Amino acid sequence: MMQLYYGEAAEAWQRDSPADSRPVHRAPRLLVCSGGDHAELALPGGATLMLWGRVYALVQPDGAYRAVDLAADGGPLLAQTFGGGGLNEAIARLEGDFVGCLVRPNGEAVLFGDAFTRRDVFYSVSAGSVIAATDLSPWQADMPRRYDPAALANLLCVFGAYPPKKHTLYRDVRRLGVGERLVLGPDGARFETLPFVPAETGEYGQAELREYARLLEDAVRVRAAGTRNWVYLTGGWDSSTVLAVLVKHVGRERVAALTGRIALSDTSRDTNVFEAERGRQIAEYFDVAHDMVPWDLTTDYAVECWRKTAPFFRRNQVYAKNAVDYFFLAEHLRGRAAPADAVFAGEVADGAHNLGFACGRTIQEHPDHSFRAYADKMAAYLFGPTFLTSVLADRYRQDAVYRLLRSRLNGHVFDGDEAPLSERARKAKFIASFFARGARVPFHSLRNHAGLTRDGIAMYESELFNTYFRDCVESLSPANVYSWLLHLYNSFHWQGSTVKSLAEAARYNRLSLRLPYWDKRLQAFLSRMPEDWGRGLELRPVKYPLKWMAENALDYPVHLHRADRSFRNDVDPSFSLHAEFLYRSALAPHFKNRLKDYPFETVLDGQYFNLDYYRALADAYRAGTEETGPRLHDLNGLVLLCWVGWY
């Protein structure tokens, strides 16, 4: 953990000397503290570099990776990299998951992250004073009660229950965005942002299939530990391919796997029976040790876990249910994994390969899995170059795929139906409907969300546009749409239920998580990947290059994926994970009690949020009424917000 105090804040720290912080660097008006391991390097010219986290590789001039181990001989290599040019060039050459603080000889300090700012840097800036940290600890005792309505709207409206990257629930504390840096000097605080330059899609063929395989193998290889490598094995293509690559490069003796066995309620103890069984079979195929870890939400211990982790997740702005699910896996490893071991997961792959439409959930009620997989491709097609071309020409309403998927939202409101939109407005609505809607269909309107008032809709749309989407809207084209979507994923969905939650659950248990699909070179490849590689209406499967690699470049049990089913709702569409969790788990009575007296009214401003709607949801929940559809989604977000809480 890192904490930085600058100006008057540094002077106040000197007076109060908090017991939980250890100073590692002192300079006039600057104090840097570390609550854990960090690396400190002296750079040529007298600058000092401090790093928290991990650096995996240095990109060589020919584009190849050179593995970096700070604990061994990586220090001089990093010192040369940061001392040989500007900060932009150094960050561009590094693949890692880190936060850095560069203190220049003139006393100026620069706080920055890796290329995707994977780790959070929270900060507050006031006259003469700056505080920054890797969690909310410095503010939790006296956080001003000024809550950010845009962050709360995103948490409640969007799948994944999270504030977007630059936001927190608090107006007075923000987070560094992707490519953003905080510079502290004699003239106060200023921000620098490395401009994002979108890439255009290319023509991919057999050479690119081989390149993809090399990139993914490199991404896994440079993250692998020399001791043991643990894989969160879901039995899907993503984590299973990582397992196969690890076995190939480090040997099965240094690889082990674990799979969660989910019991949401007494009546659904086989929630992920297909996923768990396939995970067992894949581990057996590779002959690696495999643990089946219970995620049993029917026990008092589950309630205890939710209670004890809530303060940690509150400090780190994690509100998704998945965080505690992942906690069960991480806790299982805590007493088994050595400090030098690595923990791998396959997250990020869905969004990066197929824009998040790769789970057979687009038309879930159809029994034929092949058709459901193709329906996912139809959903991805609606955010690709071909459909965007029709959006720019204002003839998208005639598209047969759009009409089909839109018809499944019968009675919903779509922007642009009542009055024509300008081309710029169409681009803005198009990109917003991907990241900031409950239903990810182009032009689905925020007016469908009963929890927002008219002022709330205007506020939320304006804040997201000005903070995240403006540059995208200015330059968006069919040629660069994938590049923009993958870039913005870093500020949205990967801050939520699957990625950030996974990372923080591992950190709580002092594990070193590795996400090879969040690799910079692999992301660049997928940003340029054309529509007909599994993202469009052609007959190639979703995640086409990944599946080609598994079948052609690895020893891999393709036959185990004949029916890619994971959860009970894959065969029974009436089965609801949210409903089992909220109404029939051991947590249900505790959640109901938490909503008593409407505590959410402390943070939800009635100007922006429909408080009558949320009161009615709370009342119905406590009375035992079981919701479905959007109301169930909204209730889930409300429960998670109130359970994890706020300052």
Cβ-in-10-Å burial (0-12, 13-18, 19+) of 37 comes to exposed
- Give yes or no for a contact between 253 and 225, defined as CB atoms under 8 angstroms apart: no
Instruction: Give the C-alpha separation, 515 to 350, whole Å.
Output: 13
- Looking at per-residue confidence, does 360 or 607 come out higher? 607
Secondary structure of 499-541 in HEC code, one letter for each residue: CHHHHHHHHHCCCCEECHHHCHHHHHHHHHCCCCCCCCCCCCC
Instruction: Kindly report which listed range (150-154, 321-325, 445-449, 595-599) carries the lowest average pLDDT score.
Output: 321-325
Helix or strand holding residue 353 (H, E): helix 349-354
Q: In terms of residues, how long is the chain?
A: 647
Tell me the mean pLDDT in the region 534-539. 97
pLDDT at 85 over 90: no
The helix/strand count (H/E) of the chain reads as 24, 18
Confidence of residue 396 (pLDDT cuts 50, 70, 90): very high
Distances (CA, A) of 464 to 41, 197, 501, 638: 38, 20, 22, 21
- The 10s digit of each residue's pLDDT in 305-331 is 999 999 999 999 999 999 998 999 999
Instruction: Give the C-alpha separation, 514 to 503, whole Å.
Output: 9
Distances (CA, A) of 213 to 64, 289, 385, 550, 553: 14, 25, 25, 9, 7
Q: Considering the chain, what percentage of its residues have pLDDT values greater than 90? A: 83
| CATH, range 206-352+495-570 | 3.40.50.620
- The 10s digit of each residue's pLDDT in 134-193 is 999 999 999 988 999 999 999 999 999 999 999 999 999 999 999 999 999 988 899 999
Instruction: Give the C-alpha separation, 363 to 379, whole Å.
Output: 10
What is residue 271's three-state secondary structure? coil
Confidence of residue 267 (pLDDT cuts 50, 70, 90): confident
Tell me the mean pLDDT in the region 356-364. 86
pLDDT at 117 over 90: yes
HSE at residue 546, side-chain half, CA atoms within 13 A, is 25
Confidence of residue 401 (pLDDT cuts 50, 70, 90): very high
Task: Identify which of 131, 89, 137 has the alpha carbon closest to the alpha carbon of residue 111.
Answer: 131
Instruction: Give the C-alpha separation, 150 to 162, whole Å.
Output: 11
Tell me the mean pLDDT in the region 437-447. 96
pLDDT at 114 over 90: yes
Instruction: Kindly report which listed range (171-185, 261-275, 567-581) carries the lowest average pLDDT score.
Output: 567-581
Confidence of residue 268 (pLDDT cuts 50, 70, 90): confident
Tokens, residue 103: 């203190």
Secondary structure of 612-638 in HEC code, one letter for each residue: HHHHHHHHHHHHCCCCCHHHHHHHHHH
Tell me the mean pLDDT in the region 501-518. 96
Q: What is the reported pLDDT for 17?
A: 60
What is residue 462's three-state secondary structure? helix
Instruction: Please give the full DSSP string across 128-185, using - where no structure is assigned.
Output: TEEEEESSSGGGTTS--S-B-HHHHHHHHHSTT----TT--SBTT-EE--TTEEEEEE
Instruction: Give the C-alpha separation, 87 to 41, whole Å.
Output: 15
pTM value is: 0.96
Q: What is the reported pLDDT for 8?
A: 86
Long-range contacts formed by 593-596: CB under 8 A, 24+ apart: 594/639, 594/642, 594/643, 595/621, 595/622, 595/638, 595/639, 595/642, 596/622
- The 10s digit of each residue's pLDDT in 462-492 is 999 999 999 999 999 999 999 999 999 999 9
Place of tokens 């190939």: 248
Q: What is the reported pLDDT for 564?
A: 65
Instruction: Give the C-alpha separation, 550 to 584, whole Å.
Output: 39
pLDDT at 13 over 80: no
- The amino acid at 137: S
pLDDT at 73 over 80: no
Domain boundaries in the chain?
2-146+171-193, 206-352+495-570, 587-644
Instruction: Give the C-alpha separation, 167 to 524, whole Å.
Output: 26
- Angle at alpha carbon of residue 644, lines to 641 and 647, rounded to 5°: 90
pLDDT at 580 over 90: yes
Q: What is the reported pLDDT for 355?
A: 97
- The amino acid at 158: V
Instruction: Give the C-alpha separation, 248 to 325, whole Å.
Output: 29
- Angle at alpha carbon of residue 454, lines to 453 and 460, rounded to 5°: 85
Q: What is the reported pLDDT for 128?
A: 86
Instruction: Give the C-alpha separation, 480 to 475, whole Å.
Output: 8
- Give yes or no for a contact between 278 and 284, defined as CB atoms under 8 angstroms apart: no
Tokens, residue 41: 């390097």
Instruction: Give the C-alpha separation, 90 to 93, whole Å.
Output: 5
| CATH, range 2-146+171-193 | 3.60.20.10
Share in percent of the chain as helix, strand, coil (round to 5): 45, 15, 40
Tokens, residue 479: 């040629």
What is residue 586's three-state secondary structure? coil
Q: Which residues of 497-517 are buried (b: 16+ CB within 10 A; e: fewer)?
A: bbbbbbbbbbbbbebbbbbbb
For the chain, give the mean pLDDT: 94
Distances (CA, A) of 379 to 369, 451, 465, 488, 540: 15, 26, 23, 18, 15
Q: What is the reported pLDDT for 527?
A: 98
- The amino acid at 28: P
Tell me the mean pLDDT in the region 583-592. 97
